Amino acid sequence: MRPPGPVPNNPSPTRGTYGPHTSMSLTPGLLSATATAPPSGKPTILCLHGGGTNSTIFNIQTIRLQRALGATFDFVFIDAPFESPAGPGVMPIFEGCGPYYRWLRPGVEELDAETRALISATLAAKGRHFVGIMGFSQGGQTAAATCLEQQVVAAKVGRGRIGFGVFLNSTSLPVTAGSGVDGDGDRQLIGLPSLHVVGLQDPWREDGERLWQKYFEKDKAKKVEFDVGHRLPTRQEDTEVIAREIKRLYEETKGMAQRC
């Protein structure tokens, strides 16, 4: 069984402490950039939330990482195209923060044309310099499929729109129509440099392990593990490890992503 979404991290202390029976109401894009926010000129990472959540929730879940990397990167968060019930762990902390969304239609294991068009249009936005993509849970699956599609584009025109991928507690496998990837047959490995964050206590850890093990070129894919469940680690030292690896990916791939 695959989860539609993540177990949320505790929000930032500067925005208040939320107990197990506390709900909160949010404004989309409150902490970081939305796709329509004016670009700052910094290299940008496209962020894809887990299924059954939304861009604002993922914004909060990654606030520690944004603080560690904000001097270097912009982070752009977008909502998936299909409305969804709230994912596991979303309630009651994020009650009232809907609507919630998912990247895949229920029961469908391929990226819909609408999802692909949304991501493609975001990456092509004028004025932004996207260098990487980061996804959590189902968003990680979608990010992997996007990396593969961008790899195909780069093979044809010499350069894709993203240079690296970051996969946070990713679930499932990269699926996309016409990608050359399938469940058990021959597949084109994803060669974009990547970071795979896996929770040792994550009930869907095997999916994240399989994504890293079977679908990425090993000399370009690094896995890091933390003693957490289906969420991001909250310890400062763990956040710094992830931030350091993302900076490394960027330094190694400068110039790989096409400017718009």
Q: For 133, which DSSP code?
A: E
Q: Are 48 and 140 in contact (CB under 8 A)?
A: yes
Q: What is the mean pLDDT of the chain?
A: 82
Is residue 33 included in any domain, yes or no?
A: no
Residues 58, 183, 220, CA angle at the centre, nearest 5°? 60
Q: What is the tally of structural domains in the chain? A: 1
Query: Using 50, 70 and 90 to split pLDDT, how confident is the model at 17?
Result: very low
Q: Would you state the pLDDT for residue 258?
A: 58
Query: Residue 59 is part of a domain; what is its CATH number?
Result: 3.40.50.1820
Is residue 137 included in any domain, yes or no?
A: yes
The two three-digit tokens of residue 121, written as one number: 């249009």
The average pLDDT across 19-28 equals 36
The average pLDDT across 77-104 equals 90
Q: Would you state the pLDDT for residue 95?
A: 82
Residue 31 clears pLDDT 60, i.e. is over it: no
Query: Using 50, 70 and 90 to split pLDDT, how confident is the model at 177?
Result: very low
Classify burial at 36, counting beta carbons within 10 Å of its beta carbon; exposed 0-12, middle 13-18, buried 19 or more: exposed
Does 17 or 46 have the greater pLDDT score?
A: 46
The average pLDDT across 148-175 equals 82
The average pLDDT across 123-143 equals 93
Q: Would you state the pLDDT for residue 15?
A: 29
Choice among 55, 79, 196, 230 that is catalytic: 230
Query: Using 50, 70 and 90 to split pLDDT, how confident is the model at 23?
Result: very low
**pLDDT tens digits along 198-209:** 999 999 999 999
Classify burial at 4, counting beta carbons within 10 Å of its beta carbon; exposed 0-12, middle 13-18, buried 19 or more: buried
Query: Using 50, 70 and 90 to split pLDDT, how confident is the model at 161?
Result: confident
Is residue 152 included in any domain, yes or no?
A: yes
Does 120 qualify as catalytic in the annotation? no
Is residue 10 included in any domain, yes or no?
A: no
Strands (DSSP E) found in 49-91: 74-78, 82-84
Strands (DSSP E) found in the chain: 33-34, 43-48, 74-78, 82-84, 100-102, 129-136, 164-168, 194-199, 221-226
Does 202 qualify as catalytic in the annotation? yes
Q: Would you state the pLDDT for residue 109?
A: 79
Which pTM was predicted?
0.82
The average pLDDT across 110-124 equals 92
Is residue 3 included in any domain, yes or no?
A: no
Choice among 32, 49, 74, 202 that is catalytic: 202
The average pLDDT across 52-66 equals 96
Residue 36 clears pLDDT 70, i.e. is over it: no
The average pLDDT across 88-108 equals 87
Q: Would you state the pLDDT for residue 175?
A: 55
User: Who contacts 61 (Cβ-Cβ below 8 Å, separation ≥6)?
Assistant: 6, 8, 9, 136, 231, 232
Is residue 210 included in any domain, yes or no?
A: yes
Does 207 qualify as catalytic in the annotation? no
In the beta sheet, which residues pair with residue 134?
Answer: 47, 166
Query: What is each CA distance from 177 to 58, 115, 146, in whole angstroms?
Result: 26, 12, 11
Is residue 22 included in any domain, yes or no?
A: no
Q: Which domain holds residue 238?
A: 43-253
Is residue 237 included in any domain, yes or no?
A: yes
The average pLDDT across 35-41 equals 67
Query: Using 50, 70 and 90 to split pLDDT, how confident is the model at 76?
Result: very high
- Least confident range from 14-23, 89-98, 249-258: namely 14-23
Choice among 32, 84, 137, 179 that is catalytic: 137
Q: Would you state the pLDDT for residue 259?
A: 58
| CA–CA distance, 255 with 252 (Å, rounded to integer) | 9
